[in-house]
Structure 1
Amino acid sequence: MKKKICMFLVGAMCLAGLSACGDKKEDTAGEGGAAATTEAGKNDDSVIGKMKSDYAEYVTIYDKYMEVKYTPSKTEVTDNDIEKDKASLIAQGTTTEKQTTGIATYGDAVNIDYTGYVDGTAFDHGSTEGKGTEITLGSSGYIDNFDEQIVGHKPGDSFDVVVTFPDPYTNDETLSGKKATFDTTLNAIVVKKVPEYNDELVKSLTSYATTAEYEQAMREKHKEDNEKNDKTKDKQNILNTIITNSTISQYPEDEMKELIDSMIQQVKSLAEANNVDLTTLISYYYGLQTEDDFKDYISNYVENYIRQKMIIVAIAAAENIDVTEEEYEARKKELMDSYSITDDNTFNQYYAKEDVYYVVLADKVSDYVYEHAVIDNGSNSDNQQVQDMLTSAATTETVTEASSEETSTEAK
């Protein structure tokens, strides 16, 4: 049912502004909860209609899902944001010059060529093939002791760099612990020319005439971006509240198993395609140590995803929210444009039709509950009662004091 589901799940959640979230409550129908009606999905063979029929009857939605209280996020633009913009502009205007004189020292950027040999034989992916590569001495990330053997040389020098690969060496296990010799040439010392931040730089790289105009424009841009991000964060928090407080009486076990198996198999295929074992890959990408840990991770991920999906679909059923063919086509085009996909066959290899429909539905449900949410200003009925009592007491005290001539005089 799902194609390339690992890629899709991550992409779909990002596109919908969602994540597999919410602490799992006991899966019992909560008293007073809003039981989702499946009426909107009955006898409906549409994609969304089928989802409603499959999921909605097993969900009891949080009874206050139409009036979730939240505190709006407010991210301010800081001077540090503008300093980063200035630094980025300076970096954009920075140029490099290859010098063929001088001596290479730690901290220098250098351009080198090399070919690596183990036991006298060149090994795969161990050569720049004469194209040259740039590294910074002391922080290249190359094998230990590689950089220090370049220090002290001058451009035009050819020399051997002798190192020992670490054991294990995850990039190529056949090289683990092996001694290697790199036939190396120092082509040049790369010197950066950093421009001054001024009106001239701004005018040459942007549509603004002065630094003041540029910085003001950046502040406005950050403000707009912050407002969008804050709104997305608020939507997420509102959905988290609904998901956490909703209950599910039964999960679609077959669908969950299919998702879990599909995701695990895709990661295994990825490991095989990159000639690494699964344990190495999951350690590198997920920080997990064993296959059992990885299976538990995927299982938990899928359960949270399905939980979220069921609740979102249930809200759609209760509020008669649907997705039109035009909305589906528009989102499909966005995805194709984003990933430079030019034909339907390629698109269908990555996204099942129902998945794209669900992404659109999740967006619409997220917008809907956000529009009906209530801003929490920090007051409630109990707090108001306390405030009224304090106000009343203060009024009584004032009246009493006013009847005393001495107090009245002091007050004056």
Structure 2
Amino acid sequence: MMKKGKKWSCLFLAASMTAALLTSCTKQTTPTETPEATSSVETTAAETSSAASTESTSAAAETTAAYQYSEGLTEDGFFENLRALDYVTLPSYQGIEIPADVHTITEEKIQTSIDTQLSAYAKAEQVTDRAVVDGDTVNIDYVGSIDGVEFEGGTTRGAGTSVTIGVTNYIDDFLEQLIGHKPGETIQVEVTFPENYGKEELNGKDAVFVTTINYIEGEMITPELTDDFVKENFQAQYGWNTADEMKEGIRSDLQKSAESEFIWNYLMENSTISEVPEAVLEYEKGQMIQYYTSNAAMYGVDLNTFLTTMMGVASVDELVEKSAEDLNNSAKRRMIVQAIAEDASLGVTEEDLILYFTENMGTADYRSYEEFYGEGYLKMILLNEQVTNLLIENAKRL
């Protein structure tokens, strides 16, 4: 089921262009990891989208497909035929003063971040000593068949799926038939697909799902913060081996994030931009469309369905119109980045790319990323990193 996500708002370089985004974008294009079709017993927005949206969606897809990440950029990561300093008057950016309440990270903030990290590893207690009741969240496996023949999309393939009786929307009274049975039992759930289910081979058909109740989900159990837990779960990605190293790493990350946000707010408020070139605005639009197209693909739905269901807009044009202010602000920030890079004579070398990908992606070979995103786009990402690091390193902490 799709969950409402954060609205695209001032997503600079598509959500800061962190290594994590590069990973997720690449993952979305891996053929072997294409999201499978929704299970045939669950009702989702994807199943209820109308065929009438196909034509407009196809047009939007063609527009997005034609958009390239590096289109309009030089190989050095700057906008083609555009000198940002011709449009941007910068304030003094060396020695920006950062108040103590910004760069001082409290123990409370650190603990909140730790709690968030640990909650991602929380697991539900597996209850197996009582019968299922209405409202329970139950982990089940099933294999569906019609007239004794299994059909596509009618099985969990033994992977298990968690459902909540009375909440999760399965066909007919599928989940209610689990009530009164205990974990470990395998029962035959008999249902009838709706006449207008949407799949000709299933419409109005009687089906049997051989269903095993694995366990009832109890209270969530959050792991304790220990050196062993940190080493097992965070060493590979963050290099943390102990709880103290984790706390210090979080403190450093929170400080850099807070300082970066303060500095960029300062530059946005104190820079003067005579005009935002249309080419930069069009680039921002393309980035936004690509961002939502990738998200739609992750959920296995078309762009229009995603925009209607998740964003509350009927088309790409409406999305662009509603996002006009955000797009303009993102374009201004991009102009400021390039202006500082020009003023400070910053540039990205091949060695910089190798170091970045080695540290953030675990590989020195960035050719697959370059093929997908283009050299200009990758260097734009690193220019943003260079500018931000320059500003933070030269800031004055009060």
Same fold (TM over 0.5): yes
1:303 counterpart (311, 314, 328) = 328
Alignment of 1:11-410 (within 5 A): 12-14=16-18, 47=76, 54-62=83-91, 64-71=92-99, 72-78=102-108, 91=123, 103-106=131-134, 107=136, 109-115=138-144, 124-128=152-156, 131=158, 133-138=160-165, 141-143=168-170, 145-153=173-181, 155-162=185-192, 181-190=206-215, 217-218=242-243, 221-257=246-282, 260-261=285-286, 264=289, 276-297=301-322, 300-333=325-358, 337=361, 344=367, 346-376=368-398
Q: Percent identity?
A: 19
Q: 1:133 to 1:179 in 2, by over 3 A?
A: farther
Secondary structure at 2:246's aligned position in 1? Answer: helix
- What do residues 323-365 of structure 1 show as CA deviations (whole Å, max 9, x unaligned)? 3332133235556x36x89672x32343221222222222222
| Superposed CA offset, 1:112-145 (max 9, x none) | 314276x99976523335x363424437733274
Q: Distance in 2 between matches of 1:288 and 1:370?
A: 38
Mapped partners of 1:371, 1:218: distance in 2: 27
The whole-number CA distance in structure 1 between the counterparts of 2:379 and 2:229 is 42
Gaps of 5+ in 1: 1-6, 18-44, 209-215, 377-412
Q: Report SS of the residue matched to 2:212.
A: strand
Residue 65 of structure 1, CA deviation:
2.9
What amino acid is the match of 1:128? Answer: T
CA 1:261–1:375 in 2, change beyond 3 Å: closer, same or farther?
Answer: closer
Which stretch of structure 1 is more off in the superposition, 266-275 or 325-334?
A: 266-275
- Distance in structure 2 (CA, Å) of the matches to 1:135 and 1:16: 27
After superposition, the Cα gap between the structure-2 partners of 1:322 and 1:279, relative to the gap in structure 1 and judged at 3 Å, is closer
* Alignment-derived partner of residue 69 in structure 2: none
1:260 is displaced (CA, Å) by 2.8
Give the Cα separation in 2 of the matches to 1:81 and 1:50. Answer: 37
Counterpart AA for 1:292: D
Consecutive unaligned residues of structure 2, counting only runs of 5 or more, are 1-10, 22-73, 233-240
Distance 1:269 1:65 in 2: 35
CA distance in structure 1 between the aligned counterparts of 2:219 and 2:295, rounded to whole angstroms: 42
SS in 1 for 2:18: helix
Root-mean-square deviation (CA, aligned residues, Å) is 5.0
1:302 CA displacement: 4.2
- Per the TM alignment, residue 234 of structure 1 is displaced from its structure 2 partner at its CA by 1.0
Give the Cα–Cα distance (whole angstroms) in 1 for the partners of residues 390 and 343 of structure 2: 12
Q: Would the aligned equivalents of 1:146 and 1:162 in 2 still touch at CA under 8 Å?
A: no
Pick closer, same or farther for the CA change 1:332–1:126 going to 2, 3 Å: same
When the two structures are superposed, what TM-score results if normalisation uses the length of structure 1?
0.58
